[in-house]
Structure 1
Amino acid sequence: MSENQEAVAEHRDTEALLGVLDAADRLSSAARLRVRSYELLRLAPGSTVVDVGCGAGRAAGELAEQGVRAVGVDPSPWMLAAARGRWPAAEFREAGAEELPFADGSVRGYRADKVFHLLQEPARAVAEARRVLRPGGRIVLVGQDWDAIMIDSADAALTRTIVHARADLLGAPRAGRQYRGLLLAGGFDDVAVEVHTSVFTDPAMLPLLARLAEPACASGAVDRDRADGWLAEQRGRAEAGRFLAAIPFFVASASASA
């Protein structure tokens, strides 16, 4: 595949992911989680707050509207291009969670939402967060537990296989339940953890199920016919108003030690 073809494929993947993220962000449960994460940051007007893995920039844009210097960070130039177009009041920089473009102790708040499960070494990201946060600065981590996704289905065993197979392809699928341990090991104080379960019944969330089934099928955990049958059942449930998926989201917060 040529570099141009790879760029086109990445753009298509980003557009597809944006569609899923936008549908999820519009849900009231997602809005409540974002608001709760902002509360836990204990925002100080004029201070610098970084949103790591900012994606299309919604959280960074909303934070900027609350009077802080909001900087969204993401490794994807495609995502950053979308973010800059949507949220001009925020700043955006290309970087990964393990190597942030900030001086030591220069940040008042650090937020990462649905990021740590993608990392091979979440502890490195926690150490980097500790480096950039000033003493007393706040960190807030939000994310789902990929092993604990619940989907109503006539075939519970197949559903478990698909969920767990997809989880096993991620860097740290159980990072959410590990937030507390990661923050304590990283030297943070006042560590607290909440769990908020989001329930999805809107057919607009069906692409989320495809993003579970397709990788599970590609990995060989489920054959094509069974994956297609499972997705067909879920489409039928959606058409009948019987679709349901529930995902527990962990919200961890802590303060940087002096």
Structure 2
Amino acid sequence: MSNLLALLDAVDAQPVAVETRARSHDLLGDVTGRTVVDVGCGGGRAVAELAGRGARAVGVDLDPEMIAVARERWPVGEFHVGDARELPFETGSVAGYRADKVLHTLDDPARAVAEAHRVLAPGGRAVLIGQDWDTIVIDSDEPDVTRRLVHAKADSLPSPRVARGYRNLLLDAGFTDPVVEVHTAVFTGDTALAVLRRITDEESWLAGQAGRARRNRIFVAVPMFLVAARG
């Protein structure tokens, strides 16, 4: 848990991550005094940011440890243990819905998007953010090995390519007026190496990347798909 939180904190601090979160909040519209749910809230940073914009911001995460961390870090927010597929909200009671880097962990992401449509009030906005796990870009002297490792990681996840389908998932669930953007996160140094260690534990390949990091030659790019639509 501590290693994952440290990595999430490092990623969240990257300029493109800050920019992408702010853009996701903007796409929710005016949330002042309205309920906004952040599904898969993790450590709760986005919930705190939305609360700072005047929303009644509610974070939901399946992991009780993450919820405990979020409550400790961000007392301005409201946090609950819950499932993206069965949210603790009445039908039509939420003005905004946000899910960041969570749908790839679900074996039926369409069910979660249908649940988003259920809880949103008419005209409410949903924003989905995430990476397509087949499109991670890594500079390497072993491109064939690198391609194999990236695809192996992707294939280990329930829905690794769901981000490329966000637009269609939203349309299929009854959402309208989708907006699609791509924001690319670039990692170098120790943060890049930490990202790669979440992809593979193949020691020889990681040793080569650690050598690159020591020479300031490590490079990882992750396109993040951001899609917003109206309920």
Class of the TM-score when normalised by the shorter of the 2 chains: over 0.9
Shift of 1:204: 2.4
Q: Aligned to 2:158, which of 156, 162, 171?
A: 171
Q: Aligned to 1:234, which of 200, 203, 209?
A: 209
Deviation digits for residues 111-164 of structure 1 (CA, Å, limit 9, x no counterpart): 000001111001000110001000000000000010000100100000000000
> In 2, Cα distance between the equivalents of 1:16 and 1:206?
13
Partner of 1:39: 26
Helix, strand or coil at the partner of 1:208: helix
Contact preservation (8 Å) 1:74, 1:93: yes
| Paired positions, count | 231
Shift of 1:175: 0.8
- Matched to 1:125, the amino acid is A
Q: Which structure 2 residues correspond to residues 137-152 of structure 1 after superposition, within 5 A? A: 137-152=124-139
Partner of 1:224: none
- Matched to 1:85, the amino acid is E
Shift of 1:106: 0.2
Partner of 1:74: 61
Q: Aligned to 2:224, which of 234, 246, 249?
A: 249
Contact preservation (8 Å) 1:77, 1:94: yes
Partner of 2:122: 135
- Percent identity (aligned): 56
After TM superposition, the score normalised by the length of structure 1 is: 0.88
Contact preservation (8 Å) 1:56, 1:79: yes
Contact preservation (8 Å) 1:24, 1:205: no
1:103 and 2:78 aligned: no
- Whose Rg is larger? 1
Q: Aligned to 1:121, which of 108, 118, 126?
A: 108
After TM superposition, the score normalised by the length of structure 2 is: 0.98
**Where does the alignment leave 5 or more consecutive residues of structure 2 unmatched?**
none
- Matched to 1:231, the amino acid is L
Q: Aligned to 2:75, which of 77, 85, 88?
A: 88
Shift of 1:74: 0.1
Deviation digits for residues 205-247 of structure 1 (CA, Å, limit 9, x no counterpart): 3121111113xxxxxxxxxxxx211100111111101010001
Question: 4+ runs of 1 displaced by more than 4 Å?
Answer: none
Contact preservation (8 Å) 2:41, 2:61: yes
Helix, strand or coil at the partner of 2:33: coil
- Matched to 1:173, the amino acid is P
> In 2, Cα distance between the equivalents of 1:205 and 1:160?
17
Shift of 1:191: 1.0
Q: Aligned to 1:196, which of 183, 193, 197?
A: 183
**Where does the alignment leave 5 or more consecutive residues of structure 1 unmatched?**
1-13, 215-226
Shift of 1:192: 1.6
Cα RMSD (Å): 0.7
Q: Aligned to 1:153, which of 140, 143, 160?
A: 140
Contact preservation (8 Å) 1:146, 1:163: yes
- Matched to 1:252, the amino acid is V
Contact preservation (8 Å) 2:136, 2:223: yes
